[in-house]
Every structure is written in C-alpha cells, then in structure tokens.
C-alpha cells in the first residue's frame, strides 16, 4: 500500500529522498525491549528534511501491516512513512549478502526510478552501497552521532551531490 498523500505535500521542485529503515538495532537496541526509544532522535532529523519519505525495510514488514508499522511513528511523521520494501526470500546463503539493498532497489525500480536514497541499518552486509548507509551500533540503536551522518547525507542530496561518488 503506497500512500500518495505525503508525495502530494512536497513543494514544487522538491525531490523526495527515500529513507529505507530497519527497526531492530536502529529504532531500539537489538534484543532489548522493542520500545522504539531511539525513534525520537531519527524523527528530529526527518522533521528538518521534509523531502524525506520513509520506506520500511525491516523484517517487521513481514509480520505487521503498514498501518501498524506507521503507528509506531509520531503523528506528524506518519504521513511520510509511505511503504514497505518487497520481501525477497533467498534460496541459498550466498544470496543473503546485500539482500535488503536488492529489495530497496526493486522498490525504487517500481516506484521511484533514479530517486535519491539512504539506508539506516545495523547490519552492513545488507547494504553493499556503504556510502548511502547510516550504520548503527546494534547495541545502542540510532544515536546523535548517527543523526549527524544522516544529516550530512541529506545535506549532500540537497546540494545535488551523489554520496555514492563522494569519499567517506
């Protein structure tokens, strides 16, 4: 279910940036209470970048409907949580590397070809394009340091820079 309302709220000339978001190890530390304690730090960044649109890439997307996932976010951010990535089920262990990025690229190909994107995840093996990854520490979740990296990436998109071509 792709909610088009948030897309329609973009000002003319503003190009969306898609944020592919994991939950466990990002919105809360992995293997601790699923209380989304780190989500306010992420939401503060999203508020400063109204061009961002969140696409859930977490395994939670296979367990819960989009409305249930959206409900985890603050009311003002909910309209910008627009979709979930498709689930690709690997047939062999060798297909696990880069799986989330393949799912995100499949989503982009179908819904926003050539769009700018960033991923936030605690598992580097999910995203071979490291220059567009905000890698969190699974023991801490999304921190102020991660917020700084996300801001730098989003500022780069605003400036017309492609982070996959910029040095880390």
Tell me the C-alpha distance between 84 and 2, whole Å. Answer: 8
Asked if pLDDT for residue 162 goes beyond 90, the answer is no
Q: What is the mean pLDDT of residues 24-43?
A: 92
Tell the burial category of 122 from Cβ atoms under 10 Å away from its Cβ (0-12, 13-18, 19+): buried
* Closest-CA residue to 138 (of 31, 18, 10, 35): 31
The residue ranking higher by pLDDT, 15 or 21, is: 21
Strands, E, within the chain: which ranges? 17-21, 52-56, 81-84, 116-121, 133-135
Mapped to the 3 state alphabet, what secondary structure does 98-137 carry? CHHHHHHHHHHHHHCCCCEEEEEECCHHHCCCHHHEEECE
Could you tell me the pLDDT band of residue 5, with boundaries at 50, 70 and 90? Answer: very low
Q: Look at residue 2 in the predicted model and tell me its pLDDT.
A: 40
pTM of the model: 0.88
In the predicted structure, residue 6 carries a pLDDT above the cut 90: no
Q: What is the pLDDT of residue 160?
A: 86
Hey, is 9 helix, strand or coil?
A: coil
d(C-alpha 117, C-alpha 7), whole Å: 15
pLDDT in tens, 57-92: 999 999 999 999 999 999 999 999 999 999 988 888
The mean pLDDT value for 26-36 works out to 89
Question: Nearest 5°: CA angle at 25, between 99 and 81?
Answer: 70
pLDDT digits (tens, 9 = 90+) for 86-128: 998 888 888 889 999 999 999 999 999 989 999 999 999 999 9
Mean pLDDT of the chain: 89
Q: What is the pLDDT of residue 4?
A: 41
CB 155 within 8 A of CB 45: no
């Amino acid at each position: 279910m792709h909610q088009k309302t948030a897309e329609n709220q973009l000002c003319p000339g503003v190009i969306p940036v898609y944020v592919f978001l994991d939950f466990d190890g990002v919105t809360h530390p992995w293997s601790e209470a699923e209380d989304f304690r780190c989500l306010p730090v992420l939401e503060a960044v999203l508020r400063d970048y109204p061009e961002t649109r969140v696409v859930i890439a977490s395994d939670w997307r296979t367990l819960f409907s989009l409305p249930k996932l959206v409900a985890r976010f603050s009311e003002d951010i909910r309209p910008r949580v627009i979709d979930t990535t498709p689930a690709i089920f690997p047939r062999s262990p060798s297909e696990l590397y880069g799986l989330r990025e393949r799912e995100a690229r499949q989503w982009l190909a179908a819904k926003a070809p050539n769009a700018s994107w960033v991923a936030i995840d605690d598992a580097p093996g999910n995203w071979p394009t490291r220059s567009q990854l905000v890698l969190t520490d699974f023991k801490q979740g999304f921190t102020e340091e991660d917020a700084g990296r996300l801001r730098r990436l989003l500022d780069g998109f605003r400036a017309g820079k492609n982070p996959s071509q910029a040095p880390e």
